[in-house]
């Protein structure tokens, strides 16, 4: 059966770069959705890999670029659909959002007659998601935060769980879907989806990028799309069912003494909040046993700000 995206047929054992028209800027400059399709000589799973649904989350852009260099049609079973920049508008503006301040990852499955975000979501669902059997969506932490490499997925689904473990991130987190998210829309179509979170916005994090590339290749191997997986992850993934954000007890200057990936025990001191005179105003302590999977990069905090994100692991150190 012919395989087409945007009306363009992609024959077996080929690589094609496509640009699907999305809209025009007020200057009439056309904006398009860049897609690279790599098809093997025989049918098999169809995996999409997408990045920059939030336009400032750019680690995934480099992950996709490196994947394009190492995935070759003649060595592939099935098809890989790679979309390095989904939110082209936000990418241009170095912004999480679209020009109307909508979050694209709260706009799925979208509508061809809706807002700009809704139309872009609808195009992505029609041309990419509906063609796929599996998906991997690449993200980073939001502005002024950083994330430990982690997979978020519905671990209750057997196929999704298998792919999540195969990826090889240090932490695999069971996560329900959010309304309007790409993962929710794809899941409703019966497509297993992994969400990879690593690093921070508007920065290339070499470790997060390398792990992301290797993780996608491991998933491809687990799906039978490749015979040459990278080495196994250096540390077996650990699974978490719950996470918890620690919030600042008061405003001030945050001085943390912990790092990403560090295990902590309940009531362990993680840092302090001081005022402009250097006086300690509050001590930050862990509310539970767990592993630090995310933290703020901004030391200036207001009361209630999220400062440390923990994956909850009872007796992690015991």
pLDDT greater than 60 at residue 151: yes
Contact 51, 86 (CB under 8 A): yes
Omega into 302 within 30° of 0, i.e. cis? no
In b/e form, how buried is each residue of 142-161, taking b as 16+ CB within 10 angstroms? beebbbbbbbbbbbeeeebb
Burial class (CB in 10 A: 0-12, 13-18, 19+), 3: middle
pLDDT at 62: 98
Given pLDDT bands bounded at 50, 70 and 90, which one contains residue 315?
Answer: low
Q: Which residues contact 255 (CB under 8 A, 6 or more apart)?
A: 271, 272, 273, 274, 299
Contact 97, 85 (CB under 8 A): no
pLDDT at 229: 79
How many Cα atoms occupy the beta-carbon half-sphere of 205 within 13 Å? 22
Rounded to the nearest angstrom, the gap between the alpha carbon of residue 260 and the centroid of all alpha carbons in its chain is 17
Kindly tell me the sign of the dihedral angle through the C-alpha atoms of 306, 311, 312, 317: negative
**Mean pLDDT of all residues in the chain?**
95
Say which residue the tokens 């979309």 belong to: 83
pLDDT in tens, 29-40: 999 999 999 999
pLDDT at 86: 98
Least reliable range by pLDDT among 102-106, 148-152, 228-232: 228-232
pLDDT at 117: 96
Q: Beta strand pairing status for 4-5 and 30-39?
A: unpaired
Mean predicted confidence (pLDDT) in 95-123? 96
Given pLDDT bands bounded at 50, 70 and 90, which one contains residue 314?
Answer: low
Q: Token pair for residue 86?
A: 């989904």
How far, in Å, CA of 119 to CA of 104, rounded? 10
Kindly tell me the sign of the dihedral angle through the C-alpha atoms of 75, 160, 136, 129: positive
Given pLDDT bands bounded at 50, 70 and 90, which one contains residue 317?
Answer: low
Least reliable range by pLDDT among 145-159, 161-175, 221-235: 221-235
pTM beyond 0.75 = yes
How far, in Å, CA of 92 to CA of 87, rounded? 9
Given pLDDT bands bounded at 50, 70 and 90, which one contains residue 316?
Answer: low
Given pLDDT bands bounded at 50, 70 and 90, which one contains residue 143?
Answer: confident
pLDDT at 236: 83
- Partners of 229 in the beta sheet? none
> Is 164 strand, coil or helix?
helix
How far, in Å, CA of 240 to CA of 112, rounded? 38
pLDDT greater than 90 at residue 318: no
pLDDT in tens, 184-211: 999 999 999 999 999 999 999 999 999 9
DSSP-assigned letters across all residues of 228-245 = -PPPPPSS--EEES-EEE
Tell which residue, 69, 97, 182, 73, has the closest CA to residue 135. Answer: 182
pLDDT in tens, 68-88: 999 999 999 999 999 999 999
């Amino acid at each position: 059966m012919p395989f087409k995206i945007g009306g363009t047929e992609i024959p077996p054992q080929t690589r094609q770069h496509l640009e699907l028209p999305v809209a025009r800027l007020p200057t009439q400059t056309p904006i398009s959705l860049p897609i690279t399709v790599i098809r093997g000589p025989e049918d098999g799973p169809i995996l999409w890999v997408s990045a920059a649904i939030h336009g400032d989350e750019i680690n995934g852009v480099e992950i996709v670029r490196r994947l394009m260099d190492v995935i070759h049609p003649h060595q592939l079973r099935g098809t890989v659909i790679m979309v390095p920049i989904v939110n082209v508008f936000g990418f241009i503006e170095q912004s999480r959002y679209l020009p109307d301040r909508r979050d694209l990852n709260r706009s799925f499955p979208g509508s061809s007659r809706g807002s700009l975000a809704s139309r872009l979501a609808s195009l992505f669902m029609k041309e990419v998601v509906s063609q796929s059997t599996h998906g991997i969506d690449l993200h980073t932490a939001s502005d002024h935060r950083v994330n430990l490499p982690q997979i978020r997925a519905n671990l209750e689904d057997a196929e999704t769980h298998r792919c999540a473990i195969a990826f090889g991130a240090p932490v695999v987190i069971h996560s329900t879907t959010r309304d309007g998210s790409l993962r929710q829309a794809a899941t409703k179509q019966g497509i297993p989806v992994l969400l990879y979170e690593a690093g921070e916005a508007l920065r290339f994090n070499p470790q997060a990028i390398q792990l992301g590339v290797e993780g996608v290749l491991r998933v491809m191997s687990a799906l039978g799309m490749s015979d040459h997986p990278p080495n196994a992850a250096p540390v077996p993934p650990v699974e978490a069912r719950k996470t918890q954000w620690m919030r600042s007890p008061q405003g001030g200057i945050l001085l943390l003494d912990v790092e990403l990936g560090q295990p902590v025990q309940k009531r362990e001191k993680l840092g302090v909040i001081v005022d402009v005179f250097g006086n300690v105003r509050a001590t930050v302590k862990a509310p539970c046993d767990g592993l630090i999977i995310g933290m703020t990069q901004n030391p200036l905090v207001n009361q209630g700000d999220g400062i440390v994100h923990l994956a909850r692991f009872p007796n992690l150190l015991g």
